[in-house]
């Protein structure tokens, strides 16, 4: 990923992004929490892609080159933390669960970044406490390095509803099912079915942010039925695709 700029300080701010708007690749000396109170946000690094609806936030460690993209009209809240202040003790991006309290804390804290009063300092302390207790979510789409795995992944990126087996896909790219299965585990840290489910969920979030009907999303992302899609979505994100979590709009 080419680095377009270095923003030394990860700002605490509220940005309103149009659907499809992107923030080019850059990095900060500070850690950053990014949260879309409305819309869906993705963060991409050289190692993979993380995506988050309003029930999730993304932790971006200091000096991690990353880019953002908004899906749907997006209210992007960013919280910058000094590199010495790492409440999660994480050195790689991660997706965190955002409950109602943490959501309101992030929104309140980013509402007036210029405020340096004692009340805002207490707000920050509670926000960090909540972050420490936020469950980490395995919502990540790793980037493959091996060209054979990359070729399979590219086929499914082009059509997430492609239902071919790993063996059938391997025949097209010139690799055996056994080899590909081993490479998925070794390179991406997950099985092929797990990776394909992650891809389909990522694509589903994007389509939902564009107001695509749930039944159409299920079909375009490869689920046999809308009910099967809803079950997987609820199990992953804690709410159904048609719900607006925690009062979010859009």
In the chain the beta strands, taken as DSSP E runs, fall at 5-6, 13-17, 22-27, 31-45, 48-52, 56-60, 66-81, 94-97, 136-137, 140-142
How many whole angstroms separate alpha carbon 84 and alpha carbon 7? 17
Residues 174, 111, single domain; the answer is no
Beta carbons within 8 Å of 78's beta carbon, 6+ residues apart: 10, 11, 12, 13, 14, 15, 32, 33, 34, 35, 110
Say whether pTM exceeds 0.75: yes
Q: Which of these three, 137, 167, 201, is where a domain ends?
A: 137
Mean pLDDT computed over every residue of the chain: 88
Residues 83, 122, single domain; the answer is yes
Percent of the chain at pLDDT > 90 equals 56
Residues 123, 224, single domain; the answer is no
Count CB atoms within 10 A of the CB of residue 185.
Answer: 14
Residues 115, 153, single domain; the answer is no
Residues 237, 156, single domain; the answer is yes
The CATH number covering residue 75 comes to 2.60.120.810
Enumerate the β-bridge partners of residue 23: 68
Q: Give the CA-trace dihedral at 75, 36, 154, 200, to 10 degrees.
A: -120
Q: Are 36 and 74 in contact (CB under 8 A)?
A: yes
> Which pLDDT band, with edges at 50, 70 and 90, does 84 fall under?
confident
Residues 128, 150, single domain; the answer is no
Q: What is the pLDDT of residues 119-177, one digit of tens each?
A: 888 998 999 899 888 888 777 899 899 999 999 999 999 999 999 999 999 999 999 99
Residues 243, 228, single domain; the answer is yes
- Residue 235: both structure tokens together: 């199990």
How many whole angstroms separate alpha carbon 39 and alpha carbon 132? 25
How many domains is the chain partitioned into structurally? 2
Residues 96, 167, single domain; the answer is no
Beta carbons within 8 Å of 130's beta carbon, 6+ residues apart: 99, 101, 102, 105
Q: What is the pLDDT of residues 8-59, one digit of tens each?
A: 666 888 888 998 899 899 999 999 999 999 889 999 988 889 988 888 899 9
SS3 157: helix
Residues 104, 34, single domain; the answer is yes
Q: Which of these three, 137, 153, 186, is where a domain ends?
A: 137
Q: Which domain holds residue 185?
A: 144-247
The CATH number covering residue 210 comes to 1.10.10.60
Residues 111, 167, single domain; the answer is no
* Helix, strand, coil tally for the chain in percent (to 5): 40, 25, 35
Residues 242, 127, single domain; the answer is no
How many whole angstroms separate alpha carbon 19 and alpha carbon 200? 20
Q: Which of these three, 102, 137, 172, is where a domain ends?
A: 137
Count CB atoms within 10 A of the CB of residue 106.
Answer: 25
Residues 182, 212, single domain; the answer is yes
Asked if residue 247 has pLDDT above 50, the reply is no
SS3 95: strand
Q: What is the pLDDT of residues 202-240, one digit of tens each?
A: 999 999 988 899 999 999 999 999 999 999 999 888 888
């Amino acid at each position: 990923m080419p680095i377009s700029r270095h923003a030394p300080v990860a700002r605490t701010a509220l940005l309103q992004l149009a659907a499809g708007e992107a923030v080019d690749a850059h990095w900060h000396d500070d850690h950053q929490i990014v949260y879309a109170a409305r819309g869906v946000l993705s963060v991409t690094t050289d190692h993979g892609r993380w995506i988050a609806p309003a029930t999730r936030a993304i932790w971006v460690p200091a000096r991690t080159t990353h880019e953002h993209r908004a899906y749907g009209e997006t209210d992007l809240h960013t919280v910058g933390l000094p590199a010495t202040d790492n409440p999660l003790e994480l050195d790689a991006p991660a997706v965190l669960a955002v409950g109602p309290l943490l959501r309101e804390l992030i929104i309140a804290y980013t509402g007036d970044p210029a405020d340096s009063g004692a009340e805002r300092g207490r707000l920050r302390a509670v926000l960090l406490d909540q972050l420490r207790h936020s469950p980490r979510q395995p919502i990540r789409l790793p980037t493959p390095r091996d060209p054979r795995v990359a070729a399979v992944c590219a086929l499914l990126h082009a059509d997430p509803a492609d239902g071919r087996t790993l063996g059938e896909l391997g025949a097209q790219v010139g690799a055996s099912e056994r080899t590909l299965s081993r490479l998925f585990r070794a390179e991406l840290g997950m099985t092929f079915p797990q990776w394909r489910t992650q891809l389909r969920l990522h694509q589903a979030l994007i389509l939902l942010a564009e107001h695509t009907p749930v039944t159409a999303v299920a079909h375009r992302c490869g689920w046999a039925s809308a009910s099967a899609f809803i079950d997987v979505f609820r199990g992953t994100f804690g709410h159904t695709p048609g719900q607006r979590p925690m009062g979010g709009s859009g």
